[in-house]
Amino acid sequence: MNKTSSKHQFKKSFGQANHYLITALVGLHDLNIGNRNSAPDNLHTSWNPKNKARSIERSEIFLFNSFLGWAVDGLDMYVSILNRKPKYIQDDELQRKFDGTDRSVRRKVMLLGEYFDIDKITLALLDVLITWRNNSLHFLAENVIDKKFVEILKSNSEAIESKYCGLCAQDLPDKAHSARDLTFKETASLIRVVHDYVNEVDAKVISALDVNAFLSEYIGDTVHNNVNFKQQFKSFTGVRKGVFIKNWIANHLGFELTADQVTYCAKLKA
């Protein structure tokens, strides 16, 4: 196993976000320098802006805001799936704390970040992102970045600038608090931070995972909840059963079982 199904779903949903963002910006750039002032016929709608340049500028801001909101939703999806059956989070105390986060993506992200000792700069920038998103997109929200993260951003400005291709972190807390518009550089960098977090957490989750216990839970739950799986799991034998299990896990959890893991799963009682 080189990644969790949580990461598989995250990558499927958000893996090419920066590419999509840049593609949209290229389209807006060409629109800006071109002669088009009406919508193409295949859209079957009207588009006749009074100020094309201003419309494009506002559309860019809307794109940035949308992608950043999508980034937080993708992050929420990733951390939430980790604690759904079959649970990649196998520490009972961590599960209890996770269940007490009351759907707060910030609390989930920071809980896992602290437990797995995730890079502090990554966590600080994620606090910026989540705070900005909440204050920008949620009516009357007044979220504030944790003071320790503000200090981390200030004291690591050079490292942040080096890692994120010139990103200046000094203004980010104020922008997050006031929900001011972010630049392309800031938007792309924060999207990358989300990927950095997912990659680092996922590697540590897998490193700590009792794979046999995870597979046992998954097989047991699937036998209980999926009639088709139960029938084939109980009726198949030998090589055929092993192939069935291996293919099912690959298709539903996104990783290849080893020969020993196939044998282990085949011996589990339905």
- pTM of the model as a whole: 0.90
Last residue of a domain, one of 183, 208, 233: 208
Three-state DSSP at 244 gives: helix
138 and 75 inside one domain: yes
Q: What's the confidence (pLDDT) of residue 143?
A: 87
Separation of alpha carbons 44 and 27, rounded Å: 19
**Both tokens of residue 71?**
């980034």
36-78 confidence digits (pLDDT tens): 888 889 989 999 888 999 999 999 999 999 999 999 999 999 9
Residue 230 is part of which domain span? Answer: 211-266
198 and 86 inside one domain: yes
- Looking at the structure of the chain, the number of domains it has is 2
219 and 146 inside one domain: no
164 and 43 inside one domain: yes
166 and 253 inside one domain: no
Look up residue 140 and give its amino acid: L
Separation of alpha carbons 191 and 128, rounded Å: 12
159 and 221 inside one domain: no
Q: What's the confidence (pLDDT) of residue 138?
A: 76
210: which residues sit within 8 A by CB, 6+ positions away?
A: 90
